[in-house]
Copies of this chain bind each other. A is one copy, B any other.
Amino acid sequence: MKKTVFVFSALIVSLLILFQLSKYAYAANDISVEIVISSIAIVFFVIGLYINRKATQNQKHLPVPINFKKIEQLGISKREYEVLVQISKGLSNKEIADALFVSESTIKTHVSNLLLKLDAKRRTQAIQKAKDLQILAI
């Protein structure tokens, strides 16, 4: 925050300096108008780049949008998707069963169906494929 204030103060000061310089240059007729305008343009272009870069850096992990259409296309049901999410969190079948208040048998059924629909041999492969298909947030 202090850094931001400092940067903006510096910007304002440099803008004022540019004003004075351009006036002086014009009065003295030393520098052509093209050079003055070009330098100003370049300076503020770079400032625009810099500011935007700082802003996008803070965004960082913009959550990947989940492809709901793909989920539907694959025929993955609501409950199956819930199980898939729990799998990706690293839970065991028993833990998922407890979290969703059903039996482990039920989870096994869901997992088997998921593996079929995702064309995966293992749950780890299912995680990988699901992320590739963007049906799981990374």
| Total copies of the chain | 2
Indicate if the CB atoms of B33 and A22 lie closer than 8 Å: yes
List the B residue with the shortest CB-CB distance to A56: B56
Closest Cβ of chain B to A74, distance in Å, is 17
Residues on B with beta carbons closer than 8 Å to the beta carbon of A97: none
By secondary structure, the A interface counts as helix
A16 to B: closest C-beta gap in Å: 10
* Residue in B41, B89, B122 whose beta carbon sits within 8 Å of that of A92 in the complex: B122
Residues 19-72 of A contacting B (Cβ, < 8 Å): 19, 22-23, 26, 33-34, 37, 40-53, 56
- Is A106 an interface residue when CB atoms closer than 8 A count as contact? no
